[in-house]
Chains A and B, each alone.
Chain A
Amino acid sequence: MATNESEYTLPEKENRLGPKLVGDADGGVVDTELFIRRAFEINDEKGYELLFKRYYQPLCSHAVRFVYSKEVAEDLVMEVFSRFWQKQLHLAITTSYRSYLFTTVRHAAFAYLKTEFKQEKNLDYSLDMNPENTPITPQELLQFNELYLKIEEIIRSTSPQSQRVFLMSRFEGKKNATIAEELHLSVKTVEGHITKVLSLLRQSLRSYGLLTMAFLGTFLSHSQGLFAYFLFFIEANAPHL
């Protein structure tokens, strides 16, 4: 693998917009972003259109694993694209668009949770993160996987009815009364299901969070830990617990 590297990695100057070819045991992966990059060379507008249409769906899919809300995930991804355009990053980034966008969406999702939990009015999703300035560590990459897996695991451990109600509330953004009507339940029962899931999330993440706080290391050191905020959020949203 390492011996293949030199054959496929282009010189630094050529590599300005990320690797055009990456090492592959089968003899080289054609750069799938080449088309978008060519479009940017000809016309910015076309470039952004291709970029957006190519990555919007997978980015939303990834974001929703963290934020568990369709609306929030979409807003967040759009915001990432807006910042990308605002800063004309297609001219600046040195990695692939893909790796920049996924990394930024992850950070934005995390920052969203953070600010949501803190009930901050002034939202700053830390989208200024530039992978060039702050290289992503392998640890970080894995930690984000762990994070969404943990959230998924917690939610999956609840009863099917609780999951259903929770998803209708968080994911689809429905009001408790609407959910009650649709599922032929009382509003109180709906509240009970949501409370149950949130309670479980709080408990699970507290124990998990305590373990991961140190594990998340540098990334969380300045943000005081996602789970602390997550727990704060859960408590703030379910004060009656």
Chain B
Amino acid sequence: MNQHTYKQAIQALFEGRATTLQKALIEEWLSQPSHKELYFQWLEEWEQQNPQLIVDTLQAYTKWVEEVNTESIKPLKSPLFFKQRPSFFWWIAASISLLLLASTYLMHDAILYKYHETAYGELRTLTLPDSSRVVLNANSTLKVPRFGFGIGSRKVFLTGEAEFSIQHLSSHQRFIVQTPDQLEVQVLGTEFMVYSRARGSKVVLNKGKVQLRSLKNQDSKPLIISTGDVVTISTLGRLTLKHNQPIAPHASWKEHRFAFQNTKVSEIAYQLSERFGIQVIIADSSLAKRTLGGTFKAESAEAFLHVMADLLELEVVRSHPSEDSSPTYTLDYLK
């Protein structure tokens, strides 16, 4: 008897047509484990072909999933399925997520922005994704968005001093520089310098046009400046505009130089501290008011101070108040 014959006999059995002798044959045949599988395979087939009732399987499945989810029917081992009470694993997962979330929040700036920082005395030239060029002066930071730069707008954040050579894009997309004191400089494509430090901000326009706006006062009208204009903004937000200024003195830092024009010693000392992170103590108030003019090499603070001391017939004394503090130079008249 081949398999087909058995199949017919078993179908007869299901339908109640099997003879006693057929049943005996089937019983013997079923002693093989693989034949039991066939028995059930044919049973399924037979039930599929001769359904005794029609059920809504989809509805039943939905109901079953709900039951399994809501009732206390949980896997006794290896919980893998559907909703369950938060297990140890989930607590750990949740903790990690929370930690990630917290650190993301705390570090979101570092994640969202790329920081370009220069040390004291260091100059650096950067190229932005839109091919614009930025020369960053010493002790400055430029923050550039990692994502979305060039989508909608090109916006960077500057602390310190930098010269921008901005590419004019075919889409006429604006380039925006924002400073910590809420000064916003908008351009389409031009060359300009922005200075923004503790004592205020300054914008120097090499060529073209830029639009300035203080975000502190939303109602303030944007100020449009053109070539040769220099705008200084005090910490109080007062704007001073000067036309037709020579650009060179403002750009001398790019060649590691200082350009002074009747510049007071106190101002020079301040600029030195800004650029080199040193402290300059002027021992005499009358000395602070003396002025200096000319262009000087400014590769190191000490070298410049010695040049200045020679010119003004002063003496420079270097001291280290403590291990960690920055070098301190004291300027005094020759004794």
Query: Which A residues contact B (CB, under 8 angstroms)?
Result: 1-2, 5, 8-9, 18-19, 22-26, 29, 32, 44-45, 48-49, 52-53, 55-62, 64-65, 70, 73-74, 78, 81-82, 85-88, 91, 95-96, 98-99, 102-103, 136, 138-139, 141-142, 145, 149, 152-153, 171
**Bound-state Cα–Cα, A73 to B55, Å:** 10
Q: Does B85 contact A (CB under 8 A)?
A: no
B44 CB, min distance to chain A CBs, angstroms: 5
Q: A78-B67, A142-B23 are in contact. Are A87 and B75 (CB under 8 A)?
A: yes
Some 5 contacts from A to B, beta carbons below 8 A apart, are: A1-B3, A2-B32, A5-B32, A64-B52, A86-B73
A146 CB, min distance to chain B CBs, angstroms: 9
Q: Contact check, B37 vs A19: say whether CB atoms are below 8 A apart.
A: yes
Instruction: Give the A-B pair count, Cβ closer than 8 A.
Output: 139
Q: Contact check, B67 vs A82: say whether CB atoms are below 8 A apart.
A: yes
Q: Does B26 contact A (CB under 8 A)?
A: yes
Q: Contact check, B39 vs A141: say whether CB atoms are below 8 A apart.
A: yes
Q: A24-B3, A61-B47 are in contact. Are A53 and B36 (CB under 8 A)?
A: no
Q: A58-B48, A85-B81, A138-B31 are in contact. Are A73 and B53 (CB under 8 A)?
A: yes
Residue of chain B at shortest CB distance from A152: B16
Q: Contact check, B40 vs A98: say whether CB atoms are below 8 A apart.
A: yes
B24 CB, min distance to chain A CBs, angstroms: 10
Q: Does B176 contact A (CB under 8 A)?
A: no
Q: Which of B13, B50, B51, B78 contacts A145 (CB 8 A)?
A: B13
Contacts of B74 in A (CB 8 A): 86
Residue of chain A at shortest CB distance from B31: A138
Greatest chain A CB density within 10 A among B27, B29, B43, B52 is at B52
**Bound-state Cα–Cα, A70 to B52, Å:** 9
Q: Contact check, A9 vs B34: say whether CB atoms are below 8 A apart.
A: yes
Question: Other CB < 8 Å A-B pairs besides A87-B77, A88-B80, A88-B81, 14 of them?
Answer: A25-B2, A49-B61, A55-B44, A57-B54, A61-B47, A61-B51, A64-B53, A65-B52, A81-B64, A82-B64, A85-B68, A88-B77, A136-B36, A138-B36
Q: Contact check, B40 vs A70: say whether CB atoms are below 8 A apart.
A: no
**Bound-state Cα–Cα, A53 to B61, Å:** 7
Greatest chain A CB density within 10 A among B31, B51, B74 is at B51
Q: Contact check, A87 vs B76: say whether CB atoms are below 8 A apart.
A: yes
Q: Which of A23, A48, A138 contacts B81 (CB 8 A)?
A: A48
Contacts of B57 in A (CB 8 A): 52-53, 56-57
Residue of chain A at shortest CB distance from B82: A45
A54 CB, min distance to chain B CBs, angstroms: 9
Q: A22-B38, A56-B55, A65-B52 are in contact. Are A1 and B2 (CB under 8 A)?
A: yes
Residue of chain A at shortest CB distance from B60: A56
A84 CB, min distance to chain B CBs, angstroms: 10
Q: Does B4 contact A (CB under 8 A)?
A: yes
Q: Which of A9, A78, A96 contacts B40 (CB 8 A)?
A: A96
Q: Contact check, B14 vs A145: say whether CB atoms are below 8 A apart.
A: yes
Q: Contact check, B64 vs A102: say whether CB atoms are below 8 A apart.
A: no
Q: Contact check, A141 vs B53: say whether CB atoms are below 8 A apart.
A: no
Contacts of A32 in B (CB 8 A): 41
Q: Which of A23, A82, A142, A145 contacts B34 (CB 8 A)?
A: A23
Q: Which of B53, B68, B82 contacts A61 (CB 8 A)?
A: B53
Q: A25-B3, A56-B55 are in contact. Are A99 and B64 (CB under 8 A)?
A: no
Q: Does B128 contact A (CB under 8 A)?
A: no
Contacts of B307 in A (CB 8 A): none
Q: Contact check, B4 vs A142: say whether CB atoms are below 8 A apart.
A: no
Residue of chain B at shortest CB distance from A94: B33
Contacts of A9 in B (CB 8 A): 34
Contacts of B102 in A (CB 8 A): none
Residue of chain B at shortest CB distance from A24: B3
Q: Contact check, A78 vs B60: say whether CB atoms are below 8 A apart.
A: yes
Q: A56-B55, A88-B80 are in contact. Are A19 and B34 (CB under 8 A)?
A: yes
**Bound-state Cα–Cα, A73 to B220, Å:** 79
